[in-house]
Amino acid sequence: MNRTSTALAVSLLLLLAQSCLAPSSPDEGEDALSILFAGDVLLDRGVRPIAEHRGVAHLFAKVAPYFRRADAVVVNLECPLTDSLSPVNKQFVFRADARWAADLHRSGITHAALANNHSVDQGSTGLRATWHHLTDAHIVPLGYGPSTAAQLAPALIAKGRLQVALFNALDFPLENWFRAEGQPDISRPTANELCAAVRLYHAENPKTRIVVILHWGTEFQPMPSIHQRRLAARLAEAGADAIIGHHPHVLQPIDTIANTLVFYSLGNFVFDQRPPQTRQSMMVRLRFRPSAPLEYDTIPIRIRQCRPVPVR
């Protein structure tokens, strides 16, 4: 067994050991807030025929019970939702039908991370349309705004006395896409800007828990890069309670830095890639309670015919 295969096998065993293989009981009353996080959702290329012929709900049918038991469900939306064609000149260009935003909401998704390298595949027009279609479908877009400040502003999830702030950012340059201040764009701050924003928010809102959702790392690498580890340490020091990562398309390890949980990569979720390592995934459920340490469990996923299926 080679080094990569060994790392993947160890990661999977750790996930199975740490996981709850059936939906957990709903949180009691107002004293707990649970947020479920999943990886990359693609509704184009090999996934498109399934969505067109069997429906978007079919793609999420096996994980819907877990969605229903969470207060919020966050995915990384790896394609713009628009019926207009205005493709950017880049290697991989995706587009999903605008009507599928409502289907995502009906499937249980409440928040969609847009700070990734495919939200701009259909240009500014497609990006703005994605925001409108998501908000019209009652899904909160993350990591989007008309200015750098707006893009870095967190979305808040509140329940009773609990409040969680979600930051979303892209951590590498975009292919053939340039920033124009004052125009809608996704959140792509420098590491210094991101850490400063988290630090300031934490100082001004010490009782609010903070989760940073990052599109980062190197594709198909089972271990986080030195840059990922350094940035995770800086965000932990700045006040992040948890860091959720995606982009590598494969699982990467779970880590703890002081009191901060780091999930370097959740892998794919709804996706059409065929290598075995790209079809191993996980969902992460974070549970927040007043004056208590952050709790979590993981749900291992196998992707079968582009659909996430819990490992039982």
- pLDDT digits over 215-258, tens only? 999 999 999 999 999 999 999 999 999 999 999 999 999 999 99
CB 141 within 8 Å of CB 199 = no
Q: How far is residue 79's CA from residue 293's CA, in Å, rounded to a whole number?
A: 35
Distance CA 154, CA 201 (A): 9
Q: Above 70 in pLDDT, residue 2?
A: no
pLDDT tens by residue, 110-144? 999 999 999 999 999 999 999 999 999 999 999 99
Whose tokens are 């079968």? That residue is 304
**Confidence at residue 181, expressed as pLDDT on a 0 to 100 scale:** 67
DSSP codes, 241-284: SEEEEESSSSEEEEEEETTEEEEEEE-EEE----SGGGGEEEEE
Residue 155: pLDDT over 50: yes
Which pLDDT belongs to residue 176?
84
Which pLDDT value is given to residue 25?
43
| The pair of three-digit structure tokens given for residue 21, joined into one six-digit string | 């293989």
CA distances (Å), 264 to each of 19, 180, 215, 247, 311, in order? 17, 30, 10, 10, 20
Task: State the pTM of this model.
Answer: 0.92
**Nearest Cα to Cα of residue 166 among 152, 183, 145:** 152
- Whether the CB-CB separation of 263 and 19 falls below 8 Å is answered with no
DSSP state of 21: S
pLDDT at residue 16 in the model: 40
- Per-residue pLDDT tens for 165-193? 999 999 999 988 877 667 889 999 999 99
Contacts (Cβ under 8 Å, ≥6 apart) of 108: 60, 64, 67, 68, 70, 73
Average predicted confidence (pLDDT) for the chain: 91
Going by their DSSP bridges, the two strands 185-186 and 144-145 should be labelled as antiparallel
**Residue range 43-64, pLDDT digits in tens:** 999 999 999 999 999 999 999 9
